[in-house]
Amino acid sequence: MSRGLFISFEGGDGSGKSTQYRLFAEYLSSIGYDVVLTREPGGTRISERIRGLLLDPECSEMDDMTEALLFAAARAQHVRELIRPALEEGKTVLSDRFVDSSYVYQGMVRGLNESVYVINDYALDGVAPDITFLLDISPAKGRSRNRSEGKDDRLEQQSLDFHRKVCDGFRALSEKFSDRFIVIDASGTVKEVHDEIVRRFNEWMAERDAGKQ
């Protein structure tokens, strides 16, 4: 059996990423893919417990390195318990956020830089997304979308400047890892963005299949 596809969705807060990843999963299921939906931080019992700690507004004294290690710890469990076994069974795994969030939030925004790559090399153990969809949206628009949803956890209580750094960080990563990143303009309607994701995915699959011939 051939290994399944691993697809991650990334983007700043309020980019509509979670809605789009669910819609895309429905699309893939409708055309016959065996899809596993998961998210980070989370995806397994242990990783979800670590998530609780990471997003707890009462943990405001958490050190940046502690935070980076906890995200990586949640990921190590996620990769070994859920992602790799599913891929080996030929399933398509869709994750709402993955390691690129650590490269951006902990590495570039918090300033831990290269140490985040080192920590995550251990967590990933060779597992990497085949495709990463970046839902790109201006920080001001993303933030206003989130506010109207009343979201307010520890990591979302941050300034607009923080959101701008996140946005710039993801754009920089999409250039660094241009082989797997697909950047989607997320400012349109839910349907417009979904259609664009499907179009770009089919384009990517056609190119991959052409490369195999």
Task: List residues binding ligand TYD (CB under 6 A).
Answer: 13, 18, 40-41, 55, 71, 97, 101-102, 105-106, 153, 155-156
Return the DSSP state at 41.
S
Q: How far is the CB of 83 from ligand TYD (least distance, A)?
A: 13
| Pairing outcome for strands 131-136 and 92-96 | unpaired
Return the DSSP state at 154.
G
Q: Which is nearer to ligand TYD, 67 or 84 (CB)?
A: 67
| Pairing outcome for strands 6-11 and 92-96 | parallel
Q: Which is nearer to ligand TYD, 30 or 158 (CB)?
A: 158
Q: How far is the CB of 35 from ligand TYD (least distance, A)?
A: 19
Phi/psi-derived region of residue 35, left when phi > 0, alpha when psi is between -120 and 50, beta in every other case: beta
Q: How far is the CB of 71 from ligand TYD (least distance, A)?
A: 4
Q: How far is the CB of 154 from ligand TYD (least distance, A)?
A: 8
Q: Which is nearer to ligand TYD, 121 or 207 (CB)?
A: 121
Give dist(CA 211, CA 112) in Å, integer. Answer: 37
Count Cβ neighbours within 10 Å for each residue of 177-193 and write b for 16 or more, e otherwise: eeebbbbbebeeeeeeb
Q: Which is nearer to ligand TYD, 20 or 106 (CB)?
A: 106
